[in-house]
Chain A
Amino acid sequence: MTYVTKSGKEYVCVMQVHCDFQLEELKKVLSQFVGTVYQKPPVRSSVKRRIRKRRIHDLELLETSGRLVLLRISSEPGTYMRKLCHDVGVILGCGAHMRELRRTRSGPFTENANLVTLHELSEAVYLWKNCKDGTELEKVVMPMELATCGMPKVLVSDGAVNAITYGSTLNVPGIVALQKFKKGDNVAMLTLKGELIAIGQALMSSEEILKSKRGQAVQPRRVLLARDVYPRSWTQ
């Protein structure tokens, strides 16, 4: 989940400006925020409060109503929307604050794909537990592998799977197929059946791996598959 948390985000937010403003002026101010911004995390935050750089990929003004402004923002993780609204207000000259916020995308998960409310989830759970009907729940719960969409992947030979679940590195001979990645990238390691074994850091680029016969390829950082689902094939 940490790897989803660290991927790109999209938000819709309502900002209240503290004075009447010209639409053109606001648009000009907003356009200045696209790109790299400096932000100091707010007083109530879970990270160290030092100024940091964050990328705003896109900032779109959806509509305005009086002093309320509806914005769509796409940004790097760790960008504070409340701070962004506040800063827009500062540049505008009279101040602004965030009224409402909704995250519309986190990594591969968007509002459009399989979004469920707590009600729908609890109904699906009820049908499964009390009526022995799991069809609704199966529609709602997605295999965790979908969370690795957007991350380069390698397919691991059956014989090399179990060692990874014990924390061993994935070596070149254990790789059956791979996508393109650079050294240092996060890479998802999957079995030939599509099960996520672990997420790790590439110790070689995909090109280097293709040219090599041996060597350490990916260092697992987070193991997800249970141990001993696949047979142990290393010698003790």
Chain B
Amino acid sequence: MYDFIRKIDDFCGYKNDWVIVRDENTDERYGRYADKRPIEELLKYGVVNLDKPPGPTSHEVAYWVKQMLGLKKVGHGGTLEPL
């Protein structure tokens, strides 16, 4: 199994054993190893653990990040107190 896949669960200490159904290889011509994306692609398929200061709302901060990076779509993981 590709090493990065196990690292996903190590990230938050999640334990759930894998059962390998069969050995199969992946065709190098398609897709991209998830941890080897060039930066433009990483920004499209990435997450930032942002330390939001008090004051601006989550929506405002998400919009700033979107502008900063020139992205089409940016979301956030929830507001503390929605207004």
Docked Cα-Cα span, A157 to B48, in Å, equals: 29
Q: Once bound together, how far apart are the Cα atoms of A142 and B35, in whole Å?
A: 9
Cβ contacts B1-13/A at 8 Å (1 or 0 each) = 1101100110110
Asked if residues B20 and A176 are in contact (CB atoms below 8 Å), the reply is yes
Is the CB–CB distance between B77 and A106 below 8 Å?
A: yes
How many residues on chain A are close to B (CB under 8 Å)?
69
Q: Are A194 and B16 in contact (CB under 8 A)?
A: no
Closest residue on chain B to residue A7 by CB atoms: B77
From 65 to 90 in chain A, residues with beta carbon under 8 angstroms from any chain B beta carbon are: 77, 80-82
Q: Is there contact, CB below 8 Å, between A5 and B26?
A: no
| Residue A231 interfacial (CB < 8 Å) | yes
- Supposing A192-B26, A193-B2 touch, asked if A142 and B49 sit within 8 A by C-beta, the answer is yes
User: Measuring CB to CB, which residues of chain A are less than 8 angstroms from any residue of chain B?
Assistant: 1, 4-5, 44-46, 77, 80-82, 100-101, 103, 106-111, 113-118, 121-122, 125, 128, 134, 137-138, 140-150, 152-153, 155, 157-158, 161, 175-180, 190-196, 206, 210, 224-225, 229-231
Name B residues whose Cβ lies closer than 8 Å to a Cβ of A.
1-2, 4-5, 8-9, 11-12, 14, 16-22, 24-27, 30-35, 37, 39, 42-43, 45-54, 61, 64-65, 68-69, 75-83
